[in-house]
């Protein structure tokens, strides 16, 4: 490293510290970059593995969008964001996020790019990595809220698909997501990245057996629709018949082999998305988006569902 580079680095560190110190009513931050050998770095690094996430009940949120959402999220009166690692450049660029993080009581550490790369699970980190508390919701609380649109992920194993379906459910206005006990870990880093902050927007229950999920939702007055390419009912026909305006839960299956027969048998209807062109099929996330938005439109149409308590 040249003398000029060292001076520039020292200047940027001081600039980043000044950004931190501008946040009023906050204790001063240390001007030292956190060491790669720090126990805090080691504790964050191990959250890339599921068993440590479960033991610590903590997970990683990477990038400005996820960290911003985490900084503004609370569960049961407790702030979700515990700790934030930021490069000097990121601390300068995202001063508002740094302020939100400190306002939420999170510990903020300046870190070198090497430290961020060590903690991050992405090939090209964006300079911000947050450590967050688990935020899943008990299934009973979801039922008690009487949801009108729910996505149930049954045996979905791909974390990217799970995160994308969560994002689609959020965008369509769903009020909850349920991951069955055979599905991927909600806090898998790829799932968190794919949701682009939607982890922090709607309640998600995890580890629920599919039969229990279906039975509980049916008892709450929710109609169960299983999405399957070989379904006997056509989504367009369901919309034309006006049967989709009520409370609905869509059950989405495994990416490779779909829904098993015993799961399809639990549903009130097995619905296929019509293929009008020559495509062989739709992938899980695309099909989920189509189904969820179809329900969202039906529920918002004249005479559609507003609340499961209305009759």
The pLDDT score that the predictor gives to residue 26 is 40
Q: What are phi and psi of 152, to 5 degrees?
A: -110, 120
Buried b (16+ CB within 10 A) or exposed e, 17-40: bebbeebeeeeebeeebbeeeeeb
pLDDT by residue (tens digit) across 272-290? 999 999 998 899 999 999 9
Compute the distance between CA of residue 228 and CA of residue 233 in angstroms, rounded to an integer.
Answer: 9
Four-way CATH pick for 139-300: 3.40.50.880, 2.102.10.10, 3.40.1280.10, 1.10.110.30: 3.40.1280.10
The pLDDT score that the predictor gives to residue 309 is 39
Do residues 130 and 96 lie in contact, with contact meaning Cβ atoms separated by under 8 Å? no
Whether 307 has a pLDDT exceeding 70, the answer reads no
Compute the distance between CA of residue 35 and CA of residue 115 in angstroms, rounded to an integer.
Answer: 8
Do residues 44 and 50 lie in contact, with contact meaning Cβ atoms separated by under 8 Å? no
Whether 199 has a pLDDT exceeding 60, the answer reads yes
For residue 8, count other CB atoms closer than 10 A to its CB: 11
**In the chain, where are the structural domains located?**
3-133, 139-300
CB burial of residue 123 (10 Å; 0-12, 13-18, 19+): exposed
The pLDDT score that the predictor gives to residue 256 is 82
CATH number of 3-133: 3.30.1330.30
pLDDT tier at 123 (50, 70, 90 boundaries)? confident
pLDDT by residue (tens digit) across 1-55? 333 333 335 545 445 445 454 443 344 444 468 888 899 999 999 999 999 999 9
pLDDT tier at 67 (50, 70, 90 boundaries)? very high
Compute the distance between CA of residue 223 and CA of residue 214 in angstroms, rounded to an integer.
Answer: 9
């Amino acid at each position: 490293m040249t003398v000029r580079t060292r001076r520039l680095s020292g200047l940027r560190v001081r600039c980043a510290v000044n950004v931190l110190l501008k946040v009023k009513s906050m204790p001063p931050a240390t001007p030292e970059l956190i060491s790669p050998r720090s126990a805090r770095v080691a504790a964050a690094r191990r959250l890339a593995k599921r068993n440590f996430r479960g033991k610590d009940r903590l997970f990683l949120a990477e990038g400005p969008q996820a960290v911003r959402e985490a900084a503004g999220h609370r569960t049961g009166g407790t702030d979700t964001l515990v700790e934030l690692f930021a490069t000097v450049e990121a601390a300068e660029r995202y001063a508002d996020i740094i302020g939100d993080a400190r306002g939420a009581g999170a510990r903020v550490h300046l870190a070198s790019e090497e430290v961020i790369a060590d903690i991050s699970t992405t090939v090209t980190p964006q300079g911000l990595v947050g450590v967050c508390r688990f935020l899943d919701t008990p299934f009973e609380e979801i039922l008690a809220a009487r949801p009108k649109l729910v996505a149930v992920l049954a045996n979905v194993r791909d974390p990217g698909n799970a995160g994308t379906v969560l994002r689609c459910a959020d965008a369509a206005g769903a009020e909850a997501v349920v991951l069955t006990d055979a599905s991927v870990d909600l806090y898998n880093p790829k799932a968190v990245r794919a949701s682009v902050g939607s982890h922090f927007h709607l309640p998600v229950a995890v580890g629920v057996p599919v039969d229990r999920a279906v039975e509980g939702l049916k008892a709450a007055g929710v109609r169960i629709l299983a999405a399957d390419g070989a379904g006997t009912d056509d989504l367009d026909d369901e919309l034309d018949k006006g049967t989709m305006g009520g409370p609905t839960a869509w059950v989405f299956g495994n990416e490779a082999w779909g829904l098993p027969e015993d799961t399809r048998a639990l549903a009130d209807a097995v619905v296929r998305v019509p293929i009008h062109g020559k495509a062989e099929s739709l992938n899980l996330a695309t099909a989920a988006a189509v189904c969820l938005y179809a329900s969202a439109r039906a529920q918002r149409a004249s005479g559609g569902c507003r609340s499961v308590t209305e009759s």
